[in-house]
């Protein structure tokens, strides 16, 4: 059998050719990929370096919603909600294979809650304008129960039905990656930046290490963008070890349970939990995602872990609205993500483009983007490229991203898990193993592992089971059981030996144990 071409090898060769890039983007999450695609689609020569894997951090650990942020209405942040709702509409239009309309029910258990929340959601509809997904309206108790049969019945007065968007975050990252490469961009995962290059007091590029070979490389660029999410301060310290931190990270936790707890197509939105947050229970890939929490954390981690009290809080809150309510025994997976919350602005080099995301330019010209959320990834990238291009003296070019269809975009897709591949579905299904499931409790097949290795830069068992496929989040225990077969398939695709396979299975099993409750 002929060994398939390794796409990452070609990307590494392209990345290390002697040249000066227009933009070097550090970070392969929502903000980094959005910035890189924005730059490449304008015709700027762009390189993206990701330390681990695309969407490895916060960008694969969201609540899976494309939304304006209902809770910002209560804070009076109308401009932020309007911007996010506009971007929600663009995501729905430009990536219909990944973003879909989702109905939500706000259950009313007091006489005043339906008119109170109904008024706020009418404003939400109004702010969405022509890109709205549907009008909110009052529903009776019987209709609320028809939509969500597991709503707690005692004292239920009715509710408000409204609409937002839902998506697959890590698959969106891969779609952005593929679109970026379609525009000639070069991207490498498992390529941590180890230092910044300086020339005449300015940032002129970076050194990075190829984690697979251990070799180090240097790349030059006219502008360097630090879009590393909760790790932006680590990159900033490469320029100035004494710099004050920008972030005060907060941890959000979600639990995943079976569909029997939310058997309809509608989701539940709890507008105000005991700690003042919004909590969601959302159907997703045949499971239910419930979250999230808000816990300040003292330091960042690539693998944050849920605290016992966070899981208890989610299950306790869910029990106030769901009957039957999930217990710890029902949890298939629990995952935590860190939010890059920005501290108060410092110094005169600060430019807050909204209260949502922040861009700062250092004395040496390092462009740092942080804050924000998935829904506004495109706007974040547009704003960042505008600043970086101006800083680097690049020819000014107009943004195309508002009308740019992402890789795979189509409305003609299957209704099952194949949908996320969009126009690539026939090519994925043409690969060997399309009819061989990886596990009886998971929908995925062997063909998808081969596709991930050949076309999506999947390099490890974790890359496949956590992000190309979503098995780790959907059923952590089942994903552990399928790890040996995934390792064997990857070894065949990437030319690895049995020792590599064994190492991969051990590493993945250790990681996935952290997604199971004790």
More confident residue, 193 or 126: 193
pLDDT at 416: 87
pLDDT at 501: 98
- Of 339, 363, 391, which residue constitutes the final position of a domain? 339
Same-domain check for residues 223 and 116: no
Q: Look at residue 3 and tell me whether its pLDDT is greater than 60.
A: no
Same-domain check for residues 284 and 139: yes
Same-domain check for residues 252 and 326: yes
The CATH code of the domain that includes 448 is 1.10.8.870
Q: Look at residue 399 and tell me whether its pLDDT is greater than 80.
A: yes
Q: Is residue 317 part of a domain?
A: yes
Same-domain check for residues 296 and 150: yes
The pLDDT confidence band at residue 86, using thresholds 50, 70 and 90, is very high
**Cβ neighbour number for residue 9 with a 10 Å cutoff:** 11
- CA proximity to 424, closest of 97, 148, 48: 97
Residue 238 φ/ψ, nearest 5 degrees: -65, -25
Q: Is residue 88 part of a domain?
A: no
Report DSSP letters for 121-164, one per residue: HHHHHHHHGGG-----EEEEHHHHHHH-TTB--TT--EEEEEEE
User: 50 and 189 in contact (C-beta within 8 Å)?
Assistant: yes
Over residues 289-314, the pLDDT tens digits come to 999 998 989 889 999 999 999 999 99
pLDDT at 66: 96
The pLDDT confidence band at residue 348, using thresholds 50, 70 and 90, is very low
CA–CA separation, 484 vs 452, rounded Å? 16
Q: Is residue 143 part of a domain?
A: yes
The CATH code of the domain that includes 152 is 3.30.9.10
- Of 351, 375, 403, which residue constitutes the final position of a domain? 403
pLDDT at 1: 42
Same-domain check for residues 269 and 287: yes
This prediction's pTM: 0.96
- CA proximity to 159, closest of 138, 180, 128: 138
The CATH code of the domain that includes 386 is 3.50.50.60
Q: Is residue 191 part of a domain?
A: yes
pLDDT, average across residues 434-439: 98
pLDDT at 307: 95
Same-domain check for residues 181 and 288: no
pLDDT at 403: 97
Q: Where are the beta strands (DSSP E) in 237-353?
A: 250-258, 267-270, 279-284, 287-291, 295-296, 333-339, 350-352
Q: To the nearest whole percent, how much of the chain has pLDDT over 90?
A: 85
pLDDT at 80: 87
CA–CA separation, 464 vs 9, rounded Å? 18
Over residues 114-149, the pLDDT tens digits come to 999 999 999 999 999 888 889 999 999 999 999 999
CA–CA separation, 101 vs 411, rounded Å? 13
Same-domain check for residues 426 and 509: yes
pLDDT at 5: 60
Q: Is residue 119 part of a domain?
A: yes
Q: Where are the beta strands (DSSP E) in 260-407?
A: 267-270, 279-284, 287-291, 295-296, 333-339, 350-352, 357-361, 367-371
Q: Look at residue 353 and tell me whether its pLDDT is greater than 70.
A: no
Q: Is residue 63 part of a domain?
A: no
CA–CA separation, 205 vs 238, rounded Å? 12
Same-domain check for residues 138 and 285: yes
Same-domain check for residues 54 and 196: yes
CA–CA separation, 210 vs 215, rounded Å? 5
CA–CA separation, 94 vs 81, rounded Å? 20
What is the residue range of 488's domain?
419-513
pLDDT at 279: 94
CA–CA separation, 429 vs 11, rounded Å? 25
pLDDT at 69: 85
Q: Is residue 12 part of a domain?
A: yes
Over residues 142-183, the pLDDT tens digits come to 999 999 999 999 999 999 999 999 999 999 999 999 999 999
pLDDT, average across residues 486-493: 98
Q: Look at residue 355 and tell me whether its pLDDT is greater than 80.
A: no
- Of 403, 427, 452, which residue constitutes the final position of a domain? 403
Taking the CA atoms of 55, 58, 62 and 65 in sequence, report the sign of the dihedral they define: negative
CA–CA separation, 444 vs 454, rounded Å? 16
Q: Using the 8-state DSSP alphabet, how is residue 438 labeled?
A: S
Same-domain check for residues 281 and 297: yes
User: 386 and 373 in contact (C-beta within 8 Å)?
Assistant: no
How many domains are contained in the chain? 3
Q: Is residue 83 part of a domain?
A: no
Same-domain check for residues 108 and 227: no
Output the CA–CA distances (angstroms, integers) from residue 247 to 251, 343, 346, 364, 369, in the order listed.
Answer: 13, 5, 12, 20, 11
Over residues 48-77, the pLDDT tens digits come to 999 999 999 999 999 999 998 887 777 778
The pLDDT confidence band at residue 244, using thresholds 50, 70 and 90, is very high
Same-domain check for residues 114 and 178: no
CA–CA separation, 409 vs 422, rounded Å? 6
């Amino acid at each position: 059998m002929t060994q398939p071409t390794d796409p990452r090898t070609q990307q590494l060769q392209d990345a290390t050719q002697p040249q000066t890039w227009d933009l070097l983007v550090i970070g392969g999450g929502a903000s980094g990929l959005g910035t890189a695609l924005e730059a490449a689609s304008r015709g700027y020569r762009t390189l993206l370096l990701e330390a681990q894997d695309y969407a490895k951090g916060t960008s694969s650990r969201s609540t899976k919603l494309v939304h304006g942020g209902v809770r910002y209405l209560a804070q009076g942040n109308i401009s932020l909600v309007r911007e996010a709702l506009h971007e929600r509409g663009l995501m729905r239009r430009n990536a219909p294979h990944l973003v879909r309309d989702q109905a939500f029910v706000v259950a009313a258990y007091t006489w005043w809650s339906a008119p109170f929340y109904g008024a706020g959601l009418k404003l939400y509809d109004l702010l969405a304008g022509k890109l709205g997904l549907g009008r909110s309206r009052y529903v009776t108790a019987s209709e609320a129960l028809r939509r969500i049969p597991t709503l707690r019945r005692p004292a239920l007065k009715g509710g408000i039905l409204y609409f937002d968007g839902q998506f697959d975050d890590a698959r969106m990252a891969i779609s952005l990656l593929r679109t970026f490469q379609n525009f000639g961009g070069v991207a490498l995962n498992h390529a941590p930046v180890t230092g910044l290059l300086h020339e005449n007091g300015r940032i002129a590029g970076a050194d990075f290490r190829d984690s697979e070979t251990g070799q180090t490389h240097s790349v030059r660029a006219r502008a360097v963008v630090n879009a590393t999410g909760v790790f932006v301060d680590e990159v900033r310290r490469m320029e100035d070890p004494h710099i004050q931190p920008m972030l005060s990270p907060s941890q959000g936790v979600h639990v995943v349970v079976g569909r029997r707890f939310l058997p309809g197509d509608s989701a539940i939105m709890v507008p105000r939990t005991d700690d003042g947050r919004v909590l969601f229970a959302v159907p997703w890939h045949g499971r239910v995602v419930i979250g999230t929490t808000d816990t300040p954390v003292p330091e960042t981690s690539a693998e944050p872990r849920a605290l016992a009290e966070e899981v208890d809080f989610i299950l306790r809150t869910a029990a106030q609205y769901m009957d039957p309510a999930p217990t710890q025994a029902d949890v298939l997976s629990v995952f935590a993500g860190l939010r890059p919350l920005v501290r108060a602005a410092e110094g005169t080099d600060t430019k807050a483009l909204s209260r949502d995301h922040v861009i700062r330019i250092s004395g040496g010209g390092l462009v740092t983007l942080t804050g924000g959320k998935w829904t506004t990834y495109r706007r974040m990238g547009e704003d960042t490229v505008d600043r970086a291009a101006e800083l680097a003296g690049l020819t000014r070019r107009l943004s195309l991203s508002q009308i740019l269809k992402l890789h795979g975009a189509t409305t003609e897709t299957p209704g099952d898990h194949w949908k996320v591949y969009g126009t690539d579905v026939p090519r994925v299904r043409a690969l060997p193993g399309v009819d061989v499931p990886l596990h009886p409790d998971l929908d995925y097949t062997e063909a998808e592992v081969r596709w991930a290795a050949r076309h999506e830069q999947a390099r490890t068992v974790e890359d496949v089971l956590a992000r190309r496929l979503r098995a780790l989040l959907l059923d952590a225990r089942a994903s552990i059981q399928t790890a040996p077969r995934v390792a064997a398939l990857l070894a065949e695709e990437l030319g690895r030996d049995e020792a590599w396979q064994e190492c991969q299975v051990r590493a993945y099993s250790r990681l996935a144990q952290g997604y199971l409750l004790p």
